[in-house]
Chains A and B, each alone.
Chain A
Amino acid sequence: MSDTLTARSLSRRRFVQSSGALLFAAQCPVGLSRKAYAGGAGAMMNSFVRIDPNNVITMLANNSEFGNGAYTVMSMMLAEELDVDYRSIALEAAPTTPEYYSPLFREYLTAGSVTTGSTFMPMRTAGAKARAMLLEAASQDWQVPSAELTTEGGKVTHAASGRSSTYGELLEAIHRLDIQPPETVALKDPSEFKILGKPARRYEGAGKVDGSAEFGIDIKLPGMLYGAIARPPVHSGSVIDFDATESLAMPGVVKVKAIRAGVVVLADSYWRAQKARAKLKIEWDRGVNDGVSSEQFYADYRALADTPGLLAEDIGDAIGALDAAETAGNVIEATYEMPLLAHATLEPMNCIARVEGDTCTIWSGTQYQSNDQEVISRFLGIPQQNVTIHRPLMGGSFGRRSSKTADYTVEAVEAAMGESVPVQIIWSREEDIRSGHYRPLFVHKLRGSVDESGMPEAWHQVAVGQSLMQGTKHDPGYMVRGIDIYSLDGCLQEPFGVFPYGTSYQIPNHRVESHNAPKKGIVPQEWRSVGHTHTGIAYECFLDEMAHKGGIDPMELRLRLTKDHARMNRVLSVLKEKCDWDKPLAPGRGRGVASRIYNISPVAQAVEVTVAENGDFTVDRVVCVVDCGFAVNPLGIEGQVEGGLAYGLGGVAFGNIDIVNGEVQQSNFHDYPVMRLPQMPKVEVHILPSDEPPTGIGEQATTPIAPAVANALFNATGRRVRRFPLSSQGFNLV
């Protein structure tokens, strides 16, 4: 911590502690602390704040907004310390320069549900430092003690003399008196907060009800051409030859050319481009993934799961305890299988690129612009700083727009090469489902035993699936002894690699192994809540099996297993009460529970289902308790919980991508169904009060919903689902 905090805030509150977690260390990258700012038109007070003479305050936002609420929480933090209305702050996407890299990732990346936690100190500090300069200028200029000055609504006021100036008006004095940013600054005590901790509506909400919010797909540049790409039927395929005679004769078509992604048709409208694309005749080389099938993945992974994997954790003697328990008949065994999933953001991938000489400009909805910049600069052979990125709002992301290959970005650049105008590539939904990146398919094999009291005694888990990080530039940071920490996130009792948390449970003998499945068939990609999307199901459903085996109520079991984990234990205690756990349900109905920790918020959910004879079921009620530290924006948190669990519920209910002979079988929302309004349960959200530093909430609610629903179906019917989605096993969410 570089740091700008006073002893006062250190001693009085715990916000400034790093919570034992390197991940959440409240680092403060407020740069430019000694850099001169420009006078005149507008002044950069520091990296994040610009003030104009007409008193427009602009925030430079270095986190992406894709529905996550980043712009809202960041503007709230800045506004709190600057004493202005957060909605009065203007906002600009910060440029792709190292000074705006995430202090956590050391890249320009919005991911991992860390925006609120990682900006909480920097944005407040930026606001407080700017305010300190304004106070200093007024104090010197008016010859009054700084302590007698107050700020409100973008003005500095000296009550005794009646003097008052807007922040913008004070710029001249800052310039004239050469006021420098302070090295350190006192932040408000949380008891003084007027904005933080109060429900706040979405910063950019107005444009999202009148149609004026501008997404990447909406941007129109002079002379721009639209591109539609015909993509190979198999991931890894490429063009051998093509005939575009018919396409070129169609109205509005300007050019057809082969690029690495396929054959691109450039036309003066998107409709014309994609209509002409349908007339292309293309000969494909199907590439190395020809013949790959997802059924074969399952078979191969099951076989691998029977062999020893890379050992991640070995507490006690799980193998010995299981062997001993075997003779007493106290061992259970199960294999859980989770399919490939597409993200299916509602705004399909798109990107505009303009290539001019040795510079490139893109307009792209992205979570990961330093990587886009890097990939483009490598591709074009130009310096990284010659790549400019404009980042509009995004119509959802869920991990898809953090592509390590920058697939939908660099292909637009390639399509724009040699063109004298900008080119916009828009993906159809079919391309999105068939040619995207996927949550990798995973198989988890588990064995467990219970002691005489029925409590879990030994746990042995082997996870098999394609690694997200292996062989990427993140390999050193997220691989431990060859193990991808995401493949096991939420399976280990102890902290692992840079993840400072374990499951919150204590099982005396606990062994977890991992196999990195061969990289083939697909490009694996983070999907909202990442590893938990499969580890959550495997761990929490098998724990439910253990509870059943030991004859212990699953809620009670979790309460006992977390007795040494105060935060999770509190979450579960509140949940038990709020969800009426002990209230009997009618026949055909069932209840399930799951509790998870992800980056580093504990969250638990209890769900109630009603199942019909034919397997149709409804999720009637979900009660969710979260502890995400200090709740910066309770209204936003509630929305993220509702949305996060909807995303996970759709995934577990019917999310499924099949690959046969290398080709994805699904293509659009009719065969890749997603959650719809009638399927949405009633959701009750309970945010536990806390003065711990804020931690993640964007993905947390996605983690327990899938196992909680599967456990509830077991509770209602006695049928245990171990292969997903639920719809493949006769359970249809209606």
Chain B
Amino acid sequence: MKLTVNGNEVEVTSEADTPLLWVLRDELNLVGTKFGCGIAQCGACTVHLDGVAIRSCVTPVAAVANKDIQTIEGQATETGLSPVQQAWLETDVAQCGYCQSGQIMAATALLAQNANPSDPEIDAAMAGNICRCGTYPRIRKAVHLAAALIAEEQSA
């Protein structure tokens, strides 16, 4: 089966019912995407499928062949971190950091749809991403900063 991950075409051999999460982690060694619950409850495994945030732990690999899959590893470019990553770093969001790949992917997808989300919109869009360390206040702050960075980038 062929997959397109972060713009690269790769061949994988996992069984068709294997969740994308485990193909990424165990077969492709892209371990930035995390396992937290396995039942679409925590968001640690969030990746983008054709630009939309999905839970890779409940997405069979067979369902994503020939689609554009983006993971945390594909967010930075040669010119550096993505605006969302920059905002996360600057706001010092992470504590243990385990949820943050998923948070960043969720925030990136949100900002692609809504360039300037309000707090309630951020809350609603990211309610599915659990952070056990409780970095929520900084997540809200970082999403606003990321929105500003993206706006700046676009006006430049």
CB within 8 Å of B: which residues of A?
66-69, 201-202, 204-215, 217-218, 220, 226, 251, 269-272, 344-348, 393-398, 426, 428-429, 635, 639-640, 642-647, 668-670, 674-678, 680, 682-683
Chain A residues whose C-beta falls within 8 Å of the C-beta of B26 in the assembled complex: 226, 269-271
Which of A69, A210, A270 gathers most chain B CB within 10 Å? A210
Q: How far is the CB of A392 from chain B (nearest CB, A)?
A: 11
Considering only residues 112-148 of chain B, those with a C-beta below 8 Å from chain A are: 120, 122-124, 126-140
Complex-state Cα separation, A272 to B23, whole angstroms: 11
Name the one of B75, B96, B138 contacting A395, with C-beta atoms under 8 angstroms.
B96
Query: Can you name 22 A-B pairs with beta carbons within 8 Å?
Result: A68-B95, A206-B89, A209-B81, A212-B32, A213-B97, A217-B31, A269-B14, A270-B26, A271-B14, A272-B15, A346-B42, A346-B131, A347-B96, A348-B35, A397-B96, A428-B38, A643-B95, A668-B37, A669-B39, A669-B42, A669-B130, A676-B127
Complex-state Cα separation, A210 to B86, whole angstroms: 10
Q: Which A-B residue pairs are the 7 nearest by beta carbons?
A: A211-B32, A646-B134, A395-B98, A67-B96, A208-B97, A67-B95, A211-B72
Chain B residues whose C-beta falls within 8 Å of the C-beta of A226 in the assembled complex: 26
Q: Are B95 and A429 in contact (CB under 8 A)?
A: no
Q: Are B127 and A647 in contact (CB under 8 A)?
A: no
CB within 8 Å of A: which residues of B?
14-15, 18-19, 22, 25-27, 29-39, 41-42, 44, 71-73, 75-76, 81, 85, 88-89, 92-101, 104, 120, 122-124, 126-140
Complex-state Cα separation, A395 to B101, whole angstroms: 12
Name the one of B75, B122, B135 contacting A642, with C-beta atoms under 8 angstroms.
B135
Chain A residues whose C-beta falls within 8 Å of the C-beta of B29 in the assembled complex: 220
Give B33's nearest chain A residue, CB to CB. A211
Q: How far is the CB of B132 from chain A (nearest CB, A)?
A: 5
Q: How far is the CB of A131 from chain B (nearest CB, A)?
A: 28
Complex-state Cα separation, A348 to B22, whole angstroms: 15
Q: How far is the CB of A3 from chain B (nearest CB, A)?
A: 34
Name the one of B22, B31, B133 contacting A271, with C-beta atoms under 8 angstroms.
B22
Q: Are B96 and A348 in contact (CB under 8 A)?
A: no
Given A202-B92, A209-B100, A211-B73, do A346 and B130 touch, yes or no (CB 8 Å)?
Answer: yes
Name the one of A204, A215, A642 contacting B137, with C-beta atoms under 8 angstroms.
A642
Q: Are A345 and B15 in contact (CB under 8 A)?
A: no
Q: Are B133 and A347 in contact (CB under 8 A)?
A: no
Complex-state Cα separation, A348 to B19, whole angstroms: 18
Chain B residues whose C-beta falls within 8 Å of the C-beta of A67 in the assembled complex: 94-97, 133
Which of A206, A643, A677 gathers most chain B CB within 10 Å? A677
Q: Are B132 and A398 in contact (CB under 8 A)?
A: yes
Complex-state Cα separation, A410 to B122, whole angstroms: 42
Chain A residues whose C-beta falls within 8 Å of the C-beta of B37 in the assembled complex: 429, 668-669
Given A210-B72, A271-B22, A674-B132, do A346 and B36 touch, yes or no (CB 8 Å)?
Answer: yes
Q: How far is the CB of B133 from chain A (nearest CB, A)?
A: 5
Which of A207, A220, A680 gathers most chain B CB within 10 Å? A680
Name the one of A211, A348, A682, A683 contacting B36, with C-beta atoms under 8 angstroms.
A348
10 further A-B contacts with Cβ under 8 Å, apart from A209-B104, A393-B96, are A210-B76, A396-B98, A635-B92, A642-B135, A642-B137, A643-B95, A674-B132, A677-B126, A677-B131, A677-B136
